[in-house]
Amino acid sequence: MHQSKTDKAILALADGTVIHGYAIGHRGTTGGELCFNTSMTGYQEIFTDPSYHGQLMMMTYPHIGNYGVSSRDDEARKVMISGLIVRAFSHHYSNTMADGDLDTYLQRNRIVGITGIDTRRLVRHIREKGVLNAVISSETDNEEELVKKAKEWPSMVGLELASKVTRSEPQTYKPADFEDLFPQISQTAGPVDELADDTGAFPPTGTDPATVDSTTSQPAAAESSKSQASAGQQPLLKIAAIDYGIKQNIINSFLKRGCKLRVFPAQTDFETIIEWQPDAFFFSNGPGDPNPMDYALETVTKAKETGKPLFGICLGHQLMAMSEGMKVMKMFVGHRGANQPVKNLRRGRVEITTQNHGFAVDPDSVTDQLAEITHRNLNDGTLEGLNFKQFNGFSVQYHPEASPGPHDSSYLFDEFVTRIRKHKEENT
């Protein structure tokens, strides 16, 4: 269904700024922290990234919707942003691989949006004022009421949101489930059970639901190991991934490297996790402020005590740093886009990265005894990566799994796999 430009909408900011435009997507009122993303492509991956849960997304690239949407581009089962702001929305698309148009997609997911906004001007406003809460409405023209709602909208500071986007039950992913996506992988998958989960997590793309494991039974894992051994294959590396809002392409990145993943809900007790006998631990990205996440810090601390390798991305990076006594601070604006330059201080090379975060580890809280700073953002000098000295772990603030790209930092997954194999060999 094509929306008429006669359908008006209003964007109201907490500082009293009011901007008029035209409605797109679902008709209603929504609010959240107003942030902007500088990516030129990948809008669907952005909208479905759980790290954006509860935020209003403004796209700085002017034309949005012109290549439609495709189910295989989703990073989670549902749209995570609370609202959308664009300069020029396209109701028509040109893409033979698309499943449909973006406006219908937004309506189906009940996402309120506004188009016709001078996004360049609004970005400059945010960069001068800092992060602001805002409200979009296509059902009322009462500016005073909308500004009041924006002022009353909860601040992201102190908000624990990982529990809102995590899955409800553990799921196991195996490389064999992805042979259609990664033909170079050939491993044997044991029989597993179906999992129904409406929290945003979903079974592997293109996979029969019957191949997704929702059980914790050890016999199935043992049977799978036996079949691999009989085929002369090396046992799969087992990684326990803690889901604070994990993106599908993170899962894909591990599977592509021949790893077996069991993804656990955010608040799973560590005893349940360790029963699976993982070779390593991964702490995922996610939304909100890490400071109230005491339950997650407890999990990280217990994982460190095992001596096994740890890897964290984005929110997981912040949690690993906090477990060592480092501080995490709210940023003035944040980093969101696919063109953030980061210098790998070890290699002396610059990587173009995808980022999405409004919090960052305070570099002044990092000491030489605790960790080595391995990566720095070249735009503002913020800390982007750590190699820990008191335990076997490393982490990055940005997204090496970035979909649709860039892929300059994908080597970090290889480094993690190398650490796991080395640890296994030394402890055999």
Residue 82 covered by a domain = yes
Q: Give the separation between CA 280 and CA 236, rounded to whole angstroms.
A: 12
For position 82, which CATH number holds?
3.50.30.20
Supply the DSSP string of 176-187, one letter for each residue: GGGTTT-TT---
Q: Residue range 330-355: average pLDDT?
A: 95
Tokens of 66: 């012109």
Q: Confirm if 306 and 336 have CB atoms less than 8 A apart.
A: no
**Residue 213, token pair as written in the block:** 């494991």
Q: Is 401 a catalytic residue?
A: yes
Task: Tell me which of 2-16, 107-121, 170-184, 245-259 is least confident.
Answer: 170-184
174 and 137 share one domain: no
CATH classification at residue 411: 3.40.50.880
Q: What is the pTM assigned to this prediction?
A: 0.86
- What DSSP assignment string belongs to 268-286? --HHHHHHT--SEEEE---
Q: What is the dihedral of CA 239, 240, 241, 242, to 10 degrees?
A: -160
Give the number of residues written for the chain.
428
Q: Which of 75, 160, 351, 401 is catalytic?
A: 401
What phi and psi, each to the nearest 5 degrees, are found at residue 374? -100, -20
Q: How many domains does the chain have?
A: 2
Structure tokens, 345: 């201080």
Q: How confident is the model at residue 206 (pLDDT cuts 50, 70, 90)?
A: very low
The active-site residue, picked from 53, 335, 375, 399, is 399
283 with 397, same domain: the answer is: yes
Give the rounded percent of residues in the chain with a pLDDT score beyond 90.
Answer: 82
In this structure, are strands 259-265 and 171-173 parallel, antiparallel, or unpaired?
A: antiparallel
216 and 67, same domain (yes or no): no
pLDDT of residue 402: 86
- Contact criterion met (CB below 8 Å) for 157 and 289: yes
Which position among 160, 314, 324, 384 bears the catalytic label? 314
Q: Are residues 167 and 117 in the same domain?
A: no
Q: How far apart are CA 385 and CA 411, in angstroms?
A: 14
In contact, 286 and 165? CB cutoff 8 Å? yes
E strand or H helix that includes residue 115 = strand 112-115
Of the pLDDT bands very low, low, confident and very high (cuts 50, 70, 90), residue 215 is very low
- How would you class 151 by CB atoms within 10 Å of its CB: exposed for 0-12, middle for 13-18, buried for 19 or more? middle
Q: Is 399 noted as a catalytic residue in this protein? A: yes
Q: Do 83 and 138 fall within a single domain?
A: yes
- Which residues form the domain of 23? 8-152
Strand, coil or helix: 254: helix
Side chain identity at residue 325, one-letter code: G
Query: 157 in a domain, yes or no?
Result: no
| pLDDT tens sequence across 135-160 | 999 999 999 999 999 999 999 999 99
In terms of domains, do 348 and 419 share one? yes
Q: For residue 195, what are its two tokens?
A: 């999992």
Using one digit for the tens of pLDDT, what is the confidence trace for 75-118?
A: 999 999 999 999 999 999 999 999 999 999 999 999 999 999 99
- Does residue 350 register a pLDDT over 80? yes
For the question of residue 92 being annotated catalytic, the response is no
Which of 106, 127, 152 terminates a domain? The answer is 152
Q: Is residue 1 part of a domain?
A: no
